[in-house]
Amino acid sequence: MQQDIERILISRERIALRVHELAEQIMADHSGSTGEITLVPILTGAIVFCADLMRQLSLRMRIGLLTVSSYPGASLRTQGSNLLSQQLGDLRGRHVLLIDDILDSGGTLKLVVPVLQSMAPASVKTCVLVRKDRAVAREVHVDYLGFEIPDEFIVGYGLDYDNYYRNLPDIVTLRKSALEPR
C-alpha cells in the first residue's frame, strides 16, 4: 500500500488541526436553541472524517446514515450519484449536519440535500472536508469546508480507489501503476 503513494497532499497533522477548527465553528453555530444536532455522514467515504469530527463536538447528537455511490469500482470520475440506502430516522424539527468527504462535481450534494430537506428538519447544513478546484464544485453551497485542492484524484482518510486505501491516515495521490484495476 505504501509503495502505491505518489505524494502526500494533506498530512494527518494538517487534517487533525483543521477538523478541530471546523468543530469549533460548528459548536459555536449550534450551541444556541436546542443545542442538539443530527450528523449524517455520506457513506462510505465520510466515515473517517465523521468519526474524528464527532468526537470533537460536545453537543448532544444523533447519527443518521446515507449511502451514495458515485465512483463505483475502479472509477476516477463520477458516474453520476445514486442513493443506495438511507437510515435517517425522524428528522422533523432537527438540526441536520450533512458530512461528506469531497466535493467534486457537486452531484452528490445536489442529490442528497433535497432528500433531507423534504423530511421537515429545522435546518440542513453541509460540511465537506475537501473541495476540488473546479468551477462546478465552487457553485455548490457548503457551510463548513476543510480544504481546497487541485483537481486531482486522491485517496486516504476514508477516500478510496476500488474500495481500497480508505485506511491511509493522510490524503494522498496514487502512482499511475496503482490506478489499474487488479
Find, among 119, 125, 54, the residue nearest to 89 by Cα. 119
Find, among 158, 166, 154, the residue nearest to 7 by Cα. 154
Contact between residue 91 and residue 65 where contact means Cβ atoms under 8 Å apart: no
From the list ligand 5GP, Mg ion, none, pick the one residue 71 interacts with, judged by a Cβ distance below 5 to 8 Å according to partner type. Answer: ligand 5GP
* C-alpha cell, 71: 465512483
Say which residues have a Cβ less than 8 Å from residue 148's Cβ, sequence separation at least 6.
130, 131, 132, 133
Instruction: Give me the 65-104 binding string for ligand 5GP, x by CB under 6 A, dash otherwise.
Output: -----xx------x--x------------------xxxxx
Quote the longest CA-to-CA distance of the chain.
52
Find, among 148, 101, 150, the residue nearest to 126 by Cα. 101
- In whole angstroms, the minimum distance from the beta carbon of 120 to Mg ion comes to 25
10 Å Cβ neighbour count for 50?
A: 24
From the list ligand 5GP, Mg ion, none, pick the one residue 23 interacts with, judged by a Cβ distance below 5 to 8 Å according to partner type. Answer: none
Give the residue with the Cβ less far from Mg ion, 124 or 129. Answer: 129
Find the binding residues for ligand 5GP in span 23-52 (CB under 6 A): 42, 45
Residue nearest to Mg ion (CB): 45
Active site residue 104: yes
Give the residue with the Cβ less far from ligand 5GP, 64 or 106. Answer: 106
Query: Given 100, 101, 104, 170, which residue is catalytic?
Result: 104
146 near ligand 5GP, judged by CB under 6 A: no
Residue type, 114: P
Would you name the residues annotated as active-site residues?
Answer: 104
- Interface with ligand 5GP (CB under 6 A): 42, 45, 70-71, 78, 81, 100-108, 153-155, 159-161
